[in-house]
């Protein structure tokens, strides 16, 4: 399975943190997901492949997102620019812009409820 330091768990949320060279990241992701799927099956649990999100954190100017063309279960996995982890919105550059935009949008909606009945 994966090493304990590779997994972050809170209530029913589980997050894997994997690192690898660009050439081997896809194999590492799918190898780990296959091991998890096997563990879920042996434990008589179901992994919801439709909720799997992949974000590649990279600070390189010339970064090209990996295209994951394999399928895991019934869902095709695609890399995303953002992910929400325990209420914190992270983007692939680990800056706060997206998180702040989401919070400001939510706050403006809440404020409009006070001004426009």
d(CA 49, CA 29): 13
d(CA 8, CA 69): 26
Task: Going residue by residue through the chain, which has 117 residues, state the pLDDT in tens, using 9 for 90 and above.
Answer: 555 458 877 887 788 888 877 778 778 888 888 888 888 889 998 888 778 888 887 777 676 666 665 555 555 677 788 888 888 888 888 888 888 888 787 666 665 666 655
Both structure tokens of 114: 């006070």
- Supply the pTM of this predicted model: 0.65
Q: Where are the domains of the chain?
A: 4-115
72 burial level (CB within 10 Å; 0-12, 13-18, 19+)? middle
Both structure tokens of 83: 């992910």
- Report pLDDT for 34: 84
Question: Cα angle vertex 93, ends 35, 105, to 5°?
Answer: 105
111 burial level (CB within 10 Å; 0-12, 13-18, 19+)? exposed
């Amino acid at each position: 399975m994966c090493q304990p330091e590779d997994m972050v768990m809170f209530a029913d949320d589980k997050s894997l943190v994997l690192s690898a060279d660009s050439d081997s990241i896809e194999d590492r992701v799918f190898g780990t997901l296959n091991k998890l799927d096997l563990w879920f099956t042996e434990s008589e649990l179901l992994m919801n492949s439709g909720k799997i999100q992949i974000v590649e954190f990279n600070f390189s100017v010339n970064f090209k997102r990996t295209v994951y063309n394999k399928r895991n279960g019934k869902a095709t996995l695609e890399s995303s620019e953002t992910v929400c982890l325990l209420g914190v919105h992270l983007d692939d550059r680990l800056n706060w812009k997206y998180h702040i935009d989401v919070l400001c949008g939510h706050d403006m909606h809440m404020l409009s409820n006070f001004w426009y009945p």
